[in-house]
Structure 1
Amino acid sequence: METTQILAEIREANLSYMMLAQSLIRSDREQALFRLGISEETANMISSLTPAQMMKIASGNTLLCRFRMDDDLVWNLITSHGKTAANETVSRLHASILMAGRHQEAA
């Protein structure tokens, strides 16, 4: 993939992420804080952005979103290849609990 195409895709992903974040915050603030892993202050700032400001922020060459699962335990739980459906459900629930605990620690 050529650099120009990668940068265009990053900008598109950034704008989509900003629009999704703003929509989530405006529709269900508590769920947005949890699902996005952001603080109340960040949510206030994002919810007040104008479309022009979102376009300007999204036009950078760095992804605004990041993976919240930064350890092997959570990745192993959510990928759980080859496990039965019941075990997969339990693994995903366990991963959600771990990530929720990390959100509380960060808040």
Structure 2
Amino acid sequence: MTNDQVLMEIREANLQYLMLAQSLIRADREQALFRLGISDETASLLNLLTPAQVLKIASSNTLICRMRVDDDLVWALLTNHGKGTANDAVSRLHASILMAGRHQEAA
């Protein structure tokens, strides 16, 4: 993958993220805060962006969203390393609870 292709993919990811964020915020603000892991203030700013502003922000060469799963326990729960499929739902629920707790700490 060339550098130009990487930049194009980053810009596309930024645009998709911003459009998804605005859609979620407008549909169900509280759920959007949880699912996106953003503050109420950030949600307010995202909600007010015009299409031109969204395109301008999306054109950045840096990803504007970040990976929220940043510890080994959550990754292990999400990927079920060493566990059977019977525990899949429980593992995903546990991972969601851990991430929700982190969202509350950040807010």
TM range (shorter): over 0.9
- SS of equivalent to 1:63: coil
Instruction: Extract structure 1 runs of 4+ deviating beyond 6 A.
Output: none
Matched, 1:54 2:47: no
**Matches of residues 12-51 of structure 1 in structure 2 within 5 Å?**
12-51=12-51
- Give 1:89 deviation, angstroms: 1.1
Match of residue 87 from structure 1: 87
Q: Which amino acid aligns with 2:69?
A: M
The TM-score, its normalising length taken from structure 2, stands at 0.96
> CA offsets per residue over residues 7-48 of structure 1, 9 Å max, x none?
011000100000000000000000000000000000000000
Identity across matched positions, percent: 75
The TM-score, its normalising length taken from structure 1, stands at 0.96
CA-based RMSD = 0.9
Residue segments in structure 1 that go unaligned for 5+ positions in a row: none
Match of residue 98 from structure 2: 98
- Give 1:65 deviation, angstroms: 1.1
Q: Which amino acid aligns with 1:73?
A: L
- Give 1:86 deviation, angstroms: 2.2
- Give 1:97 deviation, angstroms: 0.4
Match of residue 10 from structure 1: 10
- SS of equivalent to 1:41: helix
- SS of equivalent to 1:61: coil
Q: Which has the higher contact order (CA 8 A, sep 6+)?
A: 2
- Give 1:82 deviation, angstroms: 5.3
- Give 1:88 deviation, angstroms: 1.3
